[in-house]
């Protein structure tokens, strides 16, 4: 990332380099904290501390979730900011534009559309017992 870039330019660059194509949509994506983090970081990049405080998630748990999400292409690092202790904290941005979970006739369908335009779908059918 280049210094002097605007936040929007940094975010666009981070999304272009994101591993979204490696995302394997799984049931784990249904986790409420993961969904909240995706929504909370979709328009504005935030630090883990900001995410934890804003969503009332314990900080250690939030770090674990963010690491998991970044490894699966749901979040990307889009820059760094100075902290009050003169250190630097990474800013994270959601790669997800939209998502849906559908349940009907014994079918579970999870759809995830990334800001790059790529859509991933996982469909699972469960047998209905009479």
114 falls in which pLDDT band (50, 70, 90)? confident
CA 54 to chain centre: 15
Residue among 27, 24, 38, 22 nearest 109 (CA): 27
Question: Does any domain span residue 77?
Answer: yes
More confident call, 110 vs 9: 110
More confident call, 19 vs 114: 114
Question: What's the CATH number where 51 sits?
Answer: 1.10.10.10
How far, in Å, CA of 99 to CA of 116, rounded?
14
Question: Does any domain span residue 115?
Answer: no
- Note the pLDDT tens digit of each residue in 55-111: 999 999 999 999 999 988 889 999 999 888 778 999 999 998 888 888 888 888 888
- Write the CB contacts of 10 (distance below 8 Å, at least 6 apart in sequence): 1, 45, 78, 79
**pLDDT value, residue 22:** 44
Question: Does any domain span residue 62?
Answer: yes
How far, in Å, CA of 1 to CA of 24, rounded?
27
Range of the domain at 53: 7-95
Question: Does any domain span residue 128?
Answer: no
**pLDDT value, residue 59:** 95
Question: Does any domain span residue 125?
Answer: no
pTM of the model: 0.72
Q: CA triplet 125, 126, 127: central angle to 5 degrees?
A: 120
Number of compact structural domains in the chain: 1
Question: Does any domain span residue 34?
Answer: yes
- Note the pLDDT tens digit of each residue in 18-43: 554 444 445 556 688 998 999 999 99
How far, in Å, CA of 87 to CA of 4, rounded?
19
């Amino acid at each position: 990332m280049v210094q002097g870039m605007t936040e929007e330019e940094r975010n666009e660059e981070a999304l272009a380099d994101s591993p979204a194509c490696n995302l394997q949509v799984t049931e784990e994506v249904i986790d409420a904290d993961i969904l909240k983090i995706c929504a909370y970081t979709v328009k504005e990049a935030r630090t883990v501390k900001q995410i934890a405080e804003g969503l009332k998630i314990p900080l250690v748990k939030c770090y674990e979730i963010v690491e998991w999400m970044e490894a699966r292409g749901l979040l990307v690092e889009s820059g760094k900011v100075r902290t009050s202790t003169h250190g630097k904290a990474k800013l994270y941005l959601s790669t997800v534009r939209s998502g849906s979970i559908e349940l009907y006739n014994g079918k579970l369908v999870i759809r995830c559309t990334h800001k790059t335009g790529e859509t991933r779908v996982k469909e699972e059918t469960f047998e209905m017992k009479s």
